[in-house]
Structure 1
Amino acid sequence: MSEITGPAAAALASLCSDDVIFLQSLPKAELHAHLNGSIPIKTILELAQQYSPSSAQTTEVADTIEKLKSGVILNDIFDFFSLMPAIYALTSTPEAVVITTRAVLQSFLNSTNDGVESPQCTYLELRTTPRKTTHMTREKYLTVVLDEVEMYPATQAALIVSVDRRMSDLDVEECINLAIEMKNRGRRVVGIDVCGDPRSGDMRSFTQHLSRVKDAGLGLTVHIAESTNNTTEDSLALLSCRPDRLGHATFLSDELKALFFEDIPQPGTECSSLSESELPNNAPANGQYKPCIEICLSSNLLCKTVASLDAHHIRYYLKNNHPIVICTDDALPFGTSCLGEYSLLLAQPPLGLGLSRDDVARVAQMGIDAAFSRPRD
């Protein structure tokens, strides 16, 4: 099991042994775990010993490893993205991708605690962006990852193909084409994700490609309103594709919540400042659209997109009985695990949200119900 630090560790330490046993035995779905951000530190260190690039790259990798070993301190969400180039450098060959994918799958699905089998989750939808390097094509990358994912039963593991906001139009098209082709070949691709630096990309240009996803029988999840840099236009473009799940949705405005999740405000009424041309044609009436929100508590706290659990947007979704799923995001830099994140639900304030066991179990079931492997409307 991953070493738990930070807010998750404090919440876990505050629980009695019966509470911990309850959380460990609870069926859980992990639906928002990035492959390259979930690599165990032991595996990172093993890869680093085999790494021999230029001196400049060596220094960057060494600096990043030291940060990961000592505990990453982030001033804001954008500091997180600076960690990834070094990790990508260590995982640029098919052989390294095999090692890392296998280690991540084992950390989620084969974990032990004091010699007792204690997997982090019942079901895992791992996500990754197909990478093209001097050693492999995007298709080779996906094939290698899927070979490892498919070592597990379909009831335990599947893959979401991510497209990065920084990608060109042609790259987005290539990645989605690959995902659809892999699925049609019978490979275990279940969805598409939009991720990457929230400051990058014009999501209006992505919609032509994302609109193909559901017709291909794939689920769609998007990182949305992850930072204050994400505009209303950005969120509207993504919501117009009717994603099945929303990643983070930290700064999704009350206006857009009302527009998409509740009743549609009519243009010209007091409750809507959007112009008639800005209102999406397919916004659902009467609150029929309920995309599951992928909540990553430690990630939000450590990236400082929320000030505290008391101010966390999870409270809005719980209050409104909106579907959510509890996720780790990137277990390596955020020092967490599924157990750690669920501890933040059960622990008493200020270390946790203080939910009852029944409420925690209900949240866990929401996550299982939101898996792309299940039939969707």
Structure 2
Amino acid sequence: MSEIAGPAAAALSSLCPDDVIFLQSLPKAELHAHLNGSIPIKTILELAQQYSPSSAQTTEVADTIEKLKSGVILTEIFDFFSLMPAIYALTSTLEAVVTVTRAVLQSFLNPTGDGTESPQCAYLELRTTPRTTTHMTRERTYPATQAALIVSIDRRMSDLDVEECISLAIEMKNRGRRVVGIDVCGDPRSGDMRSFTRHLLRAKDAGLGLTVHIAESTRNTTEDSLALLSCRPDRLGHATFLSDELKALFFADIPQPGTECSSLSECFKISKRYKPCMEICLSSNLLCKTVVSLDAHHIRYYLKNDHPIVICTDDALPFRTSCLGEYSMLLAQPPLGLGLSRDDVARIAQMGMDAAFLRPRD
């Protein structure tokens, strides 16, 4: 198991051995894990030893590695994105992509080596954005019941780049590759999501699942969220700052896919029940300071309203967490955790398995 720290480690250390064994025994789905943000620190250090770019890049990479080794401290969510250029630089070759993909898959799906012979999760949907410096690569070591790929679309992409990535994902799916979905991610301050909708709908029509990072910061407007919701994503990432009016859409009538929805009143007029699964990343939210505490976390709203959720790690490298660490925050007593019962935690784990894109789609 990778070393964890911060809120996840504190919650895990507070549990009794029987509780830890219970959490390890649960079949868990990891549905919101970014490839470049989930690289084990050992692999990052190995790649850095082989790296020989310009002096400016060397300094940036070295500075980022020191932050990752000592523990990243973020003032706000946007600080997170400053870490990624150095990681992208280290993973810019085909050989590096193969190395990190193998390492990330092993970290999630191989036995942890702590004597329990229990992997982090039973099923993994790993997401990444195609880059022009390389091409997609997959590990076939793990069966389809264990691992699949989500192609991520960055909010900063041009219309042409979005179209190309969607076409690539559809082509790979049609060739029998394990591409199961599309993600929309990236700096939440960027992009006009209204221009993305036709491409996202094309992906859904091709049978791909759709998950989107939505209302991730206070910079995301209602119009931004409505544009994404008009595509009826199967899952929503974070959904931290959805307004009460927008959350009410999940308990009322909402638009059919592709329906123009310029106002909330229009959204309530078209009948089709809609309850997308919420991808909850507790450590990520706490460390990025998009929530002030577990007590104030939006997970409580979705639990109270019996809305489907899945517990995820997001970026295990900078947030120094694991599936076990995130689930520990469900079971641990406040203020280290939510203090949920074992039955409730087991039910949440099952909701995650049920939300996987691998399952037959309606």
Alignment TM class, shorter chain as reference: over 0.9
Q: CA deviation at 1:134?
A: 7.5
SS at match of 2:139: helix
Contact 1:9 1:340 in 2 (8 A): yes
Contact 1:28 1:121 in 2 (8 A): yes
Contact 1:259 1:265 in 2 (8 A): no
Taking a change above 3 Å as real, the CA distance of residues 28 and 245 of structure 1, as seen in their structure-2 partners, is same
Contact 2:255 2:272 in 1 (8 A): no
Q: CA deviation at 1:117?
A: 1.6
Contact 2:254 2:274 in 1 (8 A): no
Distance 2:58 2:115 in 1: 37
Contact 1:255 1:271 in 2 (8 A): no
Q: CA deviation at 1:118?
A: 1.8
Distance 1:100 1:320 in 2: 39
Distance 1:155 1:73 in 2: 36
Taking a change above 3 Å as real, the CA distance of residues 207 and 138 of structure 1, as seen in their structure-2 partners, is farther
SS at match of 1:139: coil
Contact 2:94 2:134 in 1 (8 A): no
Contact 1:296 1:328 in 2 (8 A): yes
Q: Which runs of 4+ in 1 moved over 6 A?
A: 134-140, 264-273
Could you tell me the percent identity over the aligned residues? Answer: 91
Distance 1:38 1:250 in 2: 21
Contact 1:74 1:80 in 2 (8 A): yes
Taking a change above 3 Å as real, the CA distance of residues 104 and 273 of structure 1, as seen in their structure-2 partners, is closer
For residues 152-192 of structure 1, give each alpha carbon's deviation from its aligned partner in whole angstroms, at most 9, with x where no partner exists: 10000000000000000000000000000000011100000
Contact 1:345 1:352 in 2 (8 A): yes
Q: CA deviation at 1:366?
A: 0.1
Distance 1:266 1:371 in 2: 22
Q: CA deviation at 1:114?
A: 2.6
Q: CA deviation at 1:116?
A: 3.8
For residues 118-143 of structure 1, give each alpha carbon's deviation from its aligned partner in whole angstroms, at most 9, with x where no partner exists: 20000000000001128999999xxx
Contact 1:2 1:337 in 2 (8 A): yes
For residues 19-69 of structure 1, give each alpha carbon's deviation from its aligned partner in whole angstroms, at most 9, with x where no partner exists: 000000100000000000000000000000000000000000000000000
For residues 101-124 of structure 1, give each alpha carbon's deviation from its aligned partner in whole angstroms, at most 9, with x where no partner exists: 000000000032334422000000
Taking a change above 3 Å as real, the CA distance of residues 56 and 139 of structure 1, as seen in their structure-2 partners, is farther
Contact 1:93 1:135 in 2 (8 A): no
Distance 2:122 2:134 in 1: 36
SS at match of 2:30: strand
Contact 1:132 1:138 in 2 (8 A): no
Aligned to 1:181: 171
Q: Report the aligned-residue RMSD.
A: 3.3
Deviates more, 1:47-56 or 1:109-118: 109-118
Contact 1:24 1:120 in 2 (8 A): yes
SS at match of 2:198: helix
Contact 1:43 1:103 in 2 (8 A): yes
Q: CA deviation at 1:214?
A: 1.4
Contact 1:248 1:294 in 2 (8 A): yes
For residues 262-292 of structure 1, give each alpha carbon's deviation from its aligned partner in whole angstroms, at most 9, with x where no partner exists: 3569999999984xx86xxxxxxx7720100
Aligned to 1:263: 253
Contact 2:197 2:258 in 1 (8 A): no
Q: CA deviation at 1:330?
A: 0.1
Distance 1:113 1:348 in 2: 27
Taking a change above 3 Å as real, the CA distance of residues 55 and 134 of structure 1, as seen in their structure-2 partners, is farther
Distance 1:153 1:268 in 2: 34
Distance 1:99 1:336 in 2: 21
Taking a change above 3 Å as real, the CA distance of residues 316 and 48 of structure 1, as seen in their structure-2 partners, is same
For residues 287-343 of structure 1, give each alpha carbon's deviation from its aligned partner in whole angstroms, at most 9, with x where no partner exists: 720100000000000000000000000000000000000000000000100000000
Contact 1:11 1:340 in 2 (8 A): yes
Aligned match of 2:292 in 273, 288, 307? 307
Distance 2:195 2:289 in 1: 29
Contact 1:267 1:273 in 2 (8 A): no
Aligned to 1:203: 193
Contact 2:201 2:258 in 1 (8 A): no
Contact 1:193 1:220 in 2 (8 A): yes
Contact 2:170 2:206 in 1 (8 A): yes
For residues 227-249 of structure 1, give each alpha carbon's deviation from its aligned partner in whole angstroms, at most 9, with x where no partner exists: 00000000000000000000000
Taking a change above 3 Å as real, the CA distance of residues 103 and 264 of structure 1, as seen in their structure-2 partners, is closer
Aligned residues: 357
Contact 1:61 1:86 in 2 (8 A): yes
Contact 2:231 2:257 in 1 (8 A): no
Distance 2:287 2:114 in 1: 28
1:372 has 2:362 as partner? no
Contact 1:225 1:231 in 2 (8 A): yes
